[in-house]
Chains A and B, each alone.
Chain A
Amino acid sequence: MREQKPKERIRNFNEVALGLTEEEAVAEAKRCLECKRAACIGGCPVEIDIPAFIKLISEKDFQGALDKIREKNSLPAVCGRVCPQEDQCEKVCILAKKKEPINIGALERFAADWALEHKVAKYELRTPNSERRNARVAIIGSGPAGLTCAGELAKMGYGVTVFESLHSSGGVLVYGIPEFRLPKGIVESEVDYLRGLGVEIALNVLIGRTRTLDELRKAGFGAFFIGIGAGLPYFLGVEGEMLNGIYSANEFLTRVNLMKAYLFPEHDTPVKVGEKVGVIGAGNVAMDAARSARRLGADEVSIIYRRTEMEMPARIEEIERAKEEGIRFELLTNPTGFFGDADGWVREAECVRNRLGEPDSSLRRRPVPIAGSRFKMALDTVICAIGQGPNPLLPRTLPDLKLDEDGNIIVDKLGMTSIEGVFAGGDIVTGAATVIAAMGAGRRAAAAIDVYLTQQA
Chain B
Amino acid sequence: MPYKILDKARLNSVTSKIVIEAPYIARNARPGQFVVIHIDEKGERIPLTINDSNPKDGAITIIFQGVGRTTCRLAALKKGGFVQDVLGPLGKAADFGRAGRVIFIAGGVGIAEILPVARYARANNNIVTAVTGARTKELLILEDEMRGASDRLFIVTDDGSRGARGVVTGPLKELLDKEAFDLAYCVGPDIMMKFACGLTKQYNLKTLVSLDANMVDATGMCATCRVKVGGEVKFTCVDGPEFDGHLIDWDEFMKRQKRFVALEKRAMEYHGHKCRMPG
Could you show 27 A-B contacts with beta carbons less than 8 Å apart? A167-B87, A175-B217, A175-B221, A206-B90, A209-B90, A210-B28, A232-B220, A232-B221, A242-B252, A242-B256, A250-B221, A250-B222, A264-B263, A264-B267, A265-B263, A265-B267, A266-B42, A266-B270, A267-B42, A267-B43, A268-B44, A269-B216, A270-B260, A343-B255, A343-B258, A344-B258, A391-B221
A-B contacts besides A167-B85, A244-B259, A247-B223, 20 pairs, CB < 8 Å: A203-B1, A206-B219, A209-B90, A210-B24, A210-B25, A210-B87, A212-B28, A233-B222, A241-B233, A248-B223, A248-B224, A251-B222, A264-B267, A268-B44, A268-B69, A269-B216, A272-B259, A272-B260, A344-B252, A391-B221
| Chain B residues, Cβ within 8 Å of A241 | 233
Contact A204 B221 (CB under 8 A): no
| Chain A residues, Cβ within 8 Å of B45 | 167, 259, 269
Q: A64 near B: Cβ within 8 Å?
A: no
A117 vs B270: C-alpha distance when bound (angstroms): 36
Contact B86 A204 (CB under 8 A): yes
Contact A268 B216 (CB under 8 A): no
Contact A393 B219 (CB under 8 A): yes
Q: Known: A242-B233, A266-B42, A268-B42. Is A255-B228 also a contact (CB below 8 A)?
A: no
Which DSSP category, helix, strand, loop or mixed, fits chain A's interface? loop
Q: B70 near A: Cβ within 8 Å?
A: yes
Contact A259 B255 (CB under 8 A): no
Contact A242 B267 (CB under 8 A): no
A209 vs B36: C-alpha distance when bound (angstroms): 13
Quick one: CB contact mask for A243-267 with B, threshold 8 Å, 1 for yes?
0110110110011000110011111
Contact A209 B88 (CB under 8 A): yes
Shortest CB distance B253–A (Å): 9
Q: Which residues 214-263 in B have Cβ within 8 Å of A in the complex? A: 216-217, 219-224, 226, 228, 233, 238, 252, 255-256, 258-260, 262-263
Q: Which residues 73-97 in B have Cβ within 8 Å of A in the complex? A: 84-90
Contact B69 A231 (CB under 8 A): no
Q: Known: A210-B87, A272-B260. Is A254-B223 also a contact (CB below 8 A)?
A: no
The residue in chain B whose Cβ has the minimal distance to the Cβ of A205 is B24
Contact B28 A211 (CB under 8 A): yes
Instruction: List the 7 shortest-distance A-B pairs measured between CB atoms, nearest first.
Output: A344-B255, A270-B263, A251-B222, A265-B270, A265-B267, A167-B85, A231-B221
Q: B271 near A: Cβ within 8 Å?
A: yes
| Chain B residues, Cβ within 8 Å of A343 | 255, 258
Q: Known: A205-B24, A209-B28. Is A265-B221 also a contact (CB below 8 A)?
A: no
Q: Known: A244-B258, A248-B223, A250-B222. Is A204-B44 also a contact (CB below 8 A)?
A: no
Q: B151 near A: Cβ within 8 Å?
A: no
A344 vs B44: C-alpha distance when bound (angstroms): 24
| Chain B residues, Cβ within 8 Å of A206 | 87-88, 90, 219
Contact A251 B87 (CB under 8 A): no
Contact B28 A269 (CB under 8 A): no
The residue in chain A whose Cβ has the minimal distance to the Cβ of B251 is A344
Q: B137 near A: Cβ within 8 Å?
A: no
